[in-house]
């Protein structure tokens, strides 16, 4: 019985130019392979997004190991800056190049190959569920969320889940993600009264009010960190008036703020704080305000326990490296899975993700498949 080569599968996926939200055949590649090797496959498409759910074993089994990942990728940027075709999957000196090689087509290829070979050689007493989306790099509204909604309606459930995102900062095996910070974006507009710059007393300038507000927000200490999280952060990402004139006081000024927050907060408490500070500015300066709040995800933690220990032991066995349990980095689809079942993340070294000439070491892809295989073997064994 020929084993599935995760390197060849990675190359097949990279050659599909699946810039989010387009699929361009990437999930079809996986669907055909999984269905041909005994997995029950269903499409959970929504909003024009392709989503694939593949199960081996009995639906609703009390021991169902889940994998989650995505096949969509970020745009390539300036193609002329690439030294290789972005979707060519070229291999040079033991390294494969192409958009998605790291984030995260190699991770998907590794867990698909591991799952297929595992059930063919060591059929477990349980089930394996693969939830793969084409909408993670974009708005992520109709991706993993749609898969989880479909599962709820169909009576599918994962007991635990491993998300195959690249998690290692420097070397293979050095980090497992057991949680993520929350993320939210706040757009603030302050409105005063337009006027001539030579007669400021006849106008109401919203700029001093905005500067005062931004200073208060940026200088406020949200917290000093918690047991498993670094301190929360607030970044001012834009301040703009759209005013091309030098002799006109503008009527409106807008600003954007991004907050990355730990488990000392939630989006509701932070929104209430922002509104309170804006209300103070309205009173002090006489301006009017508008707020728009978009929450990308709440902070969450899967406390160190059986699942993180299971993954850690497999990583140590296959790499000789003891991984750090971390909550660093941005958001991932684990923020949706955490409401379904315990979830951790482990994958490749992510140094080149989203960069020009994104690449992955061939040896790391095969090593990742071995780690995922060991995790399943230990979980069911």
Which amino acids are annotated catalytic? 72, 136
Residue spans of alpha helices (H) in 160-220: 206-219
Beta bridge partner(s), residue 344: 162
What the block records as the tokens of 105 is 């087509």
SS3 category, 30: helix
For residue 373, which of 302, 317, 308 has the smallest C-alpha distance?
317
How far apart are the C-alpha atoms of 222 and 274, rounded to whole Å?
A: 12
Cis check: omega of the bond before 378, within 30 degrees of 0: no
H or E, element range at 283: helix 267-285
Phi, psi (degrees; rounded to nearest 5) at 274: -60, -45
The residue behind tokens 């991004």 is 258
For residue 71, which of 49, 55, 44, 91 has the smallest C-alpha distance?
49
Using alpha carbons only, what angle is made at residue 105 by residues 160 and 338, rounded to the nearest 5 degrees? Answer: 25
Region for 320 from its dihedrals, namely left if φ exceeds 0, alpha if ψ lies in -120 to 50, beta otherwise: left
| Residue 36 CB contacts under 8 Å (≥ 6 apart), including other chains | none
> Are the C-beta atoms of 348 and 106 separated by less than 8 Å?
yes
Count of C-beta atoms within a 10 Å radius of residue 192: 22
Give, in order, the Cα–Cα distances in Å from 256 to each of 133, 184, 189, 218, 243: 30, 11, 9, 12, 17
Count of C-beta atoms within a 10 Å radius of residue 334: 23
How far apart are the C-alpha atoms of 313 and 374, rounded to whole Å?
A: 9
- Tallying the residues shown for the chain, one arrives at 381
């Amino acid at each position: 019985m020929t084993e599935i080569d995760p390197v060849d599968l990675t190359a097949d996926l990279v050659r599909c130019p699946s810039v989010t939200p387009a699929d361009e055949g990437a999930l079809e590649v996986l669907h055909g392979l999984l269905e041909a090797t005994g997995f029950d496959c269903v499409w959970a498409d929504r909003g024009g997004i392709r989503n694939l759910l593949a199960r081996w074993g009995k639906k609703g089994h009390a021991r169902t190991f889940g994998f989650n990942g995505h096949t969509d990728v970020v745009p390539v940027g300036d193609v002329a800056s690439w030294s290789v075709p972005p979707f060519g999957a070229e291999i040079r000196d033991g390294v494969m190049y192409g958009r998605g090689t790291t984030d995260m087509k190699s991770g998907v290829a590794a867990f698909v190959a591991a799952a297929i070979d595992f059930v063919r050689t060591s059929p477990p007493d349980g089930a394996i569920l693969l939830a793969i989306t084409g909408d993670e790099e974009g708005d992520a509204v109709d991706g993993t969320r749609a898969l989880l909604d479909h599962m709820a309606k169909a009576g599918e459930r994962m007991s635990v889940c491993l998300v195959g995102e690249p998690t290692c900062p420097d070397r293979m095996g050095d980090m497992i993600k057991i949680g993520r910070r929350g993320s939210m974006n706040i757009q603030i507009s302050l409105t005063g009264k337009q006027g001539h710059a030579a007669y400021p007393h006849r106008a109401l300038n919203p700029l001093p009010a905005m500067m005062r507000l931004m200073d208060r927000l940026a200088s406020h200490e949200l917290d000093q960190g918690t047991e498993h999280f670094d301190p929360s952060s607030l970044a001012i990402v834009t301040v703009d008036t759209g005013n091309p004139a030098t002799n006109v006081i503008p009527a409106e000024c807008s600003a954007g703020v991004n907050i990355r927050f730990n488990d000392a907060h939630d989006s509701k408490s932070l929104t209430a704080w922002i509104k309170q500070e804006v209300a103070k500015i309205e009173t002090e300066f006489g301006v009017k305000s508008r707020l728009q709040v978009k929450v990308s995800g709440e902070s969450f933690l899967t406390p160190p326990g059986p699942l993180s220990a299971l993954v850690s032991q497999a990583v140590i066995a296959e790499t000789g490296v003891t991984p750090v349990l971390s909550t660093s980095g941005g958001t991932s689809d684990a923020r949706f899975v955490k409401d379904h079942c315990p979830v951790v993340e482990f994958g490749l070294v992510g140094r080149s993700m989203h960069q020009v000439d994104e690449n992955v070491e061939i040896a790391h892809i095969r090593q990742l498949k071995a780690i995922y295989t060991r995790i399943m073997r230990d979980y069911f064994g």
